[in-house]
Structure 1
Amino acid sequence: MPGQYSVSLESRVDGKTQRLAGPVQFKVNALGAEQMNEADRAALQQFQQKVSRLDRALTGAVQTGGDVDKRLTAIRQSLRDTPGDMSSLVARADDLQSRLRDIMRAMRGDAALRRRQENTPAAINDRINQIEDEERFSISRPTQTHIDSYNVSAQQFGEQLSKLRQLVDVDLKKLEDDMEKAGAPWTPGHVPEWSDR
């Protein structure tokens, strides 16, 4: 990304860091940037930064979703290993798994349909990747198509992130707390309760 940067060179040996050179300031210019006026260059840079922030948040949400999926798999196994009737907790875990799949499908797309070479609606990730690919070496203001695509992605991502937060921060935590009360085996990502009484 064009802008002002600095670089330094350091060596780390046996846990000790020694500066070898720098810091040296330098400026990165986009190829063809000299053809752009200052307002267009500023608009492009601002847009690229917005897209980058959305991509960063989307990447974190997708990773969180993947982690939660693993936790839910462990939860389902734990509930199978728990003596007694766990059907209501299993049903809640199934519901969380289903909701998580819907959230992940909106963010990443429908992998099952893609494997069968079916057309799929553009996922948030698809839109953002396309914008980044097409704007990376741009020497003009962002296109209206990219601005519109960003706005759709940001609005859809906000909705999915809200659903993911509800699922993780409220519903999953409540399920894990109820599993703890039921004496279910420990699952990853959950700090167990303990008392010697």
Structure 2
Amino acid sequence: DGVNTVLQGPEPFKVEPLFEGSLPRKSYKEMNDFREEAFAFQQDLTAANIALSKSQQTVDAMLRALNKATAPSDALLKRLNDTKITLMDIDKELHGDEIKGEIGERSDPTASDGNSISWRALGNTYGPTDEHKAFLSRVQSQLKKVKAKLLPIVNSALPALESDLKKTGAPWIEGQGLIKN
């Protein structure tokens, strides 16, 4: 029926550690601050991954549509291919080298490595170490660089390509909205 009913309110309790670990425990405030920062990073990473994936799908669809255009343009084909290559480079920077992964060779560290920061740092009894904090700082910096490359493509290059694609008489592609008759 769409109505929330509170069956029982919150019950306060105090958690007592069973034992002290070998490392001194961080304060709850420090752990909570780190958790919030790590969660914000993970959301940012997810948003960047989705934007990158959708951009790659859009460029692929544009390339297919250009092949069916009534007045295809070689200049537009080159711009689309250049954008596709740029997106592939951004993907490699964000996720690492897929080919290296297939043969078991390590890639350089990437921002996507930070996806596991929460359970690494908070899956213990003492909270985030200085190494965890440095790791989070590194992946945040890497993600910022990736987003700086991705943002102009998403905000200006793709809309410009879409506009030019329409001028070639290419068919509708997903994401262009309703067809205006």
Q: TM-score, normalised by structure 2?
A: 0.85
Gap regions ≥5 residues in structure 1: 1-15
Verify: 1:98 aligned to 2:85, yes or no: yes
Q: Which residue matches 1:53?
A: 40
Q: Which residue matches 1:6?
A: none
- The answer to whether the 8 Å contact 1:110/1:120 transfers is yes
Q: Which residue matches 1:68?
A: 55
Show CA shifts across 1:5-43 (max 9, x none). xxxxxxxxxxx2344543522569888499699972111
- Equivalent residue pairs, number: 179
Per the TM alignment, residue 186 of structure 1 is displaced from its structure 2 partner at its CA by 1.2
Show CA shifts across 1:124-169 (max 9, x none). 111341x222112233242111111111111111111121111111
Distance 1:26 1:50, change over 3 A: farther
SS of aligned partner of 1:158: helix
SS of aligned partner of 2:82: helix
Structure with the higher fraction of residues in strand conformation: 1
Gap regions ≥5 residues in structure 2: none
Identity across aligned pairs (percent)? 19
Q: Which residue matches 1:24?
A: 9
User: Given residue 155 of structure 2, which amino acid in structure 1 is its aligned partner?
Assistant: D
User: Given residue 170 of structure 1, which amino acid in structure 2 is its aligned partner?
Assistant: S
CA distance in 1, matches of 2:17, 2:10: 22
Distance 1:31 1:103, change over 3 A: farther
CA distance in 2, matches of 1:52, 1:77: 38
Q: Which residue matches 1:165?
A: 151
- The answer to whether the 8 Å contact 2:65/2:171 transfers is yes
Verify: 1:146 aligned to 2:132, yes or no: yes
User: Given residue 94 of structure 1, which amino acid in structure 2 is its aligned partner?
Assistant: N
CA distance in 1, matches of 2:126, 2:88: 38
CA distance in 1, matches of 2:80, 2:13: 50
Give the aligned CA root-mean-square deviation in angstroms.
2.8
